[in-house]
Structure formats: C-alpha cells, structure tokens
Amino acid sequence: MQIERIEEARLTPELEAELGALLDLCFSGTFEGRSFFMQRHHVRLIAREEAIIGHMALSLRAIRLGEDLATIAGLAEVATHPDRRGEGIAGRLMEAMLEEARAMPADFLLLFGDRPIYAGHGFVPAPNPLRWVEMAGARTGWVAEGSERGLMVLPLGARAWDDDAPVDLLGHLF
C-alpha cells in the first residue's frame, strides 16, 4: 500500500471521480459524486494499491476560541473501502495525516467524530459550545449553535485548548 499526499489544486478529473466514488460508497451516496462533502480542502492523503482504498482530508483555517483567533487544521472525510476495513489502512493514513498536520502552522487539529482510532492518537472530546454555518447539499444554510457535535481536539503545539470557551468555526463543519 502506498500513501500519497495530493494538494487540492492538483486533483485531476479522474482522481476527483475516483475519490467521489469511494466517498459515496463509504457514506451511502451523500457526497453525490463529489470528492468533498460541503467544501474543498487543502490537502488529501490517499491510500492506494491499484485503486484508492482509503482517504483523509485536511483543511487549514482560523476559528475563534473565545475571543481569540486560533489557527486549526480540520480533519474530514475519513474513509476506508468497506472491503478493506480492519487491515490497518486508517491507522497508517492517520500517522501520515498527523505528520502533515504538525507541519502546518496550526495550534490544534480538530475533527468531528467519536471513533476509538482518534482517542488512540491523542484526540480528546471537547465539550465547547459551537457556532457554525449549516450547509446541506453544498449550499449555505443558516448559522447554527450547539454542543453535541462530537468535537475532538488534539493540541499541535504549546497552546492549551480551553474547554469552556465558545468556539466559532467561522464557517461550516468539516
């Protein structure tokens, strides 16, 4: 298995179609053939043999943590081909993704999920109240607020995460 790093701006139409097919397979068609759910990312990590068998996407963006701006990397669209689950593909992608995130100018790595693989790599649940822009079908919806979204955080540097501070994602969930 080979892990490739591909910048979003370098995706070919063929690669986009292959990614869209994998994501639709893994997420019951909710991607509608797109290689992204609601918005494009900055970099993709792809596990490949002859075909793509795994995928993770990273975005770099600013958020508000309380009154302060923080630069974060957001992990999204974690997918392993259903026929290949349990083979360690996600774990190998996670190691490569963590290396990529640590090379970014980000204070924290965030994701929305609750899978044990994340806790095993140092992510912890964050109970912060959230504000985000809701999107559906790659269309802007409304500003939403809540705290039960499965936010998990991994500090990437010396800055401490404040579990009590409201988090404004300054955009959509990822």
Domain CATH number, residue 29: 3.40.630.30
Considering the domain boundaries, does residue 16 fall inside one?
yes
- Whole-number pLDDT of residue 156: 97
- Whole-number pLDDT of residue 91: 94
Confidence of residue 76 (pLDDT cuts 50, 70, 90): very high
- Whole-number pLDDT of residue 98: 97
- Whole-number pLDDT of residue 49: 95
What mean pLDDT do residues 19-41 have? 85
Considering the domain boundaries, does residue 90 fall inside one?
yes
Number of domains in the chain: 1
Show the domain range for 135: 2-168
SS3 of 26-83: the string is HCCCCCCCCCCCCCCCCEEEEEECCCEEEEEEEEEEEEEECCEEEEEEEEEEEEECHH
Confidence of residue 35 (pLDDT cuts 50, 70, 90): confident
- Whole-number pLDDT of residue 136: 81
Type of residue found at 145: E
pLDDT in tens, 98-150: 999 999 999 999 999 877 889 999 999 999 999 999 988 788 999 999 987 78
Cα angle 91-10-44, degrees, rounded to a multiple of 5: 15
Whether pLDDT at 31 is above 90: no
- Whole-number pLDDT of residue 59: 97
Cα distance between residue 147 and residue 103, in whole Å = 29
Considering the domain boundaries, does residue 174 fall inside one?
no
Considering the domain boundaries, does residue 173 fall inside one?
no
